[in-house]
């Protein structure tokens, strides 16, 4: 019977040694990525990619709040007719800056629960990296991602009309028309500063003669 007992004990010890342990960051703080050095996000899902994305989103929430707080002093000085535009630009800066910081998020660890088969993901970002990126906004720098202009027509066009009536936006004196045949002259005038805004006129085709 002694050999049998040795086999049972050996199997039990092997089973305990091979059982996967739950990482500390799943249910608590990470010793490898301490809070004083890293921003941390966690995600859980059935699929690993979904868990990764949820971890990034969890960390991004912290970033969005942090960058918004950094920009509060900028938006607080918005006033007058340009207030809405300034606040809008800063808001876009916050979103763009947050997106750029999010690209630096790393997923160093994932873990699958052997019983539930759920996947856990850990997202980390060094605090120094996040602080440097957020500091660019708070120091007055802005990153704007503009496609086909950033003005809101409902507010921008009426404002231009008011400025024109006040004599502060004489766009009729800023524009000079050129025939299409004089395109080279128009380009040269803009380069030299003689013309601020050159507009080419293309004559309609002559009506066909019967």
Domain assignment present for residue 1? The answer is no
Q: Strand locations in 67-140, DSSP E?
A: 106-112, 119-126
Domain assignment present for residue 10? The answer is no
At residue 71 the predicted structure's pLDDT band, cuts being 50, 70 and 90, is: very low
Residue, of 23 and 138, whose pLDDT is higher = 23
Average pLDDT of the residues in 154-172 = 89
Q: Tell me the angle at which helices 48-70 and 127-138 cross, rounded to the nearest 10 degrees.
A: 40
Q: Are residues 34 and 92 in the same domain?
A: yes
Q: How far apart are CA 31 and CA 38, in angstroms?
A: 11
Q: How far apart are CA 25 and CA 31, in angstroms?
A: 8
User: 192 is in which domain, residue-wise?
Assistant: 156-202
> Is the model's pLDDT at 99 over the cut of 70?
no
Q: Are residues 96 and 187 in the same domain?
A: no
Domain endpoint, select from 146, 171, 189: 146
Q: Are residues 116 and 47 in the same domain?
A: yes
Domain assignment present for residue 15? The answer is no
Instruction: Please list, in sequence order, all residues whose beta carbon lies within 8 angstroms of the beta carbon of residue 45, skipping any fewer than 6 positions away.
Output: 51, 54, 118, 119
Q: Are residues 134 and 164 in the same domain?
A: no
126 forms bridges with which residues in the sheet?
Answer: 38
Q: Are residues 111 and 165 in the same domain?
A: no
Quick one: pLDDT at residue 10? 47
| CATH code at position 114 | 3.10.28.20
Q: How many domains does the chain have?
A: 2
């Amino acid at each position: 019977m002694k050999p049998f007992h040795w086999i049972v004990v050996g199997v039990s010890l092997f089973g305990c040694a091979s059982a996967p342990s739950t990482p500390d960051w799943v249910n608590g703080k990470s010793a490898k990525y301490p809070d004083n050095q890293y921003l941390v996000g966690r995600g859980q899902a059935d699929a690993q990619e979904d868990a990764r994305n949820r971890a990034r989103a969890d960390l991004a929430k912290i970033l969005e709040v942090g960058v918004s707080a950094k920009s509060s002093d900028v938006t607080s000085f918005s006033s007058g007719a340009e207030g809405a535009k300034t606040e809008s630009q800063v808001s876009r800066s916050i979103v763009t800056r947050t997106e750029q910081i999010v690209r630096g998020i790393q997923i160093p660890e994932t873990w699958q629960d052997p019983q539930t088969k759920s996947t856990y993901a850990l997202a980390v970002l060094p605090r120094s990296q996040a602080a440097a990126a957020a500091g660019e906004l708070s120091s007055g720098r802005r990153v704007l991602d503009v496609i086909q202009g950033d003005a809101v027509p409902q507010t921008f066009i009426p404002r231009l009309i008011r400025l024109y009536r006040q004599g502060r936006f004489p766009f009729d004196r800023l524009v000079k028309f050129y025939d299409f045949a004089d395109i080279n002259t128009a380009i040269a005038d803009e380069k030299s500063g003689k013309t601020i805004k050159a507009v080419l006129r293309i004559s309609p085709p002559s009506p066909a003669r019967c």
